[in-house]
Amino acid sequence: MAQYSLPPKAVFDVQGTLSRLGGDEELLADMIGFFVEDAPPLITELQSAIETQDAPAVKKAAHALKGLVLGCGGVRAGHAVQRVEDAAAAGEIDALVPLVADLTTEIDELVAATLPYRT
């Protein structure tokens, strides 16, 4: 089984994300809105794919989720979803359950951290 590194301490990189978005706070709020709306169904997709041991479906859902997470500045969640995607790509189905549990925790923390930036 592959070794997965611990995530960095930052939950949400608001300054880095705003910099990438040209300082556009409205765009940041939109990106966060997409994330908050679209992440839960993708987490459900991940969990269903794990139950059916469908590693390619896990990888696909993780990749979509990674775009949402990184688009709105999720640092730790970005690392967590990358670990899920890597494990799925390697076919490490047994590793996915705890990795998705960690990812879910990171997603919850990111949702909470972005609350002040939502419109």
What is this structure's pTM? Answer: 0.89
Determine the pLDDT at residue 8.
61
What long-range pairs does 44-51 form, CB within 8 A, spacing at least 24?
Answer: 46/84, 46/96, 46/100, 46/103, 47/100, 50/93, 50/96, 50/97, 50/100
pLDDT in tens, 35-88: 999 999 999 999 999 999 999 999 999 999 999 999 999 999 999 999 999 999
DSSP assignment of the chain equals: ----PPPPS-SB-HHHHHHHTTT-HHHHHHHHHHHHHHHHHHHHHHHHHHHTT-HHHHHHHHHHHHHHHHHTTBHHHHHHHHHHHHHHHTT-HHHHHHHHHHHHHHHHHHHHHHGGG--
What's the rounded Cα separation, in Å, for the pair 119 and 38? 16
Domains of the chain are 14-117 (1.20.120.160)
Determine the pLDDT at residue 119.
79
Average confidence score pLDDT of the chain? 92
Asked if 29 contacts 7 with a C-beta cutoff of 8 angstroms, the reply is no
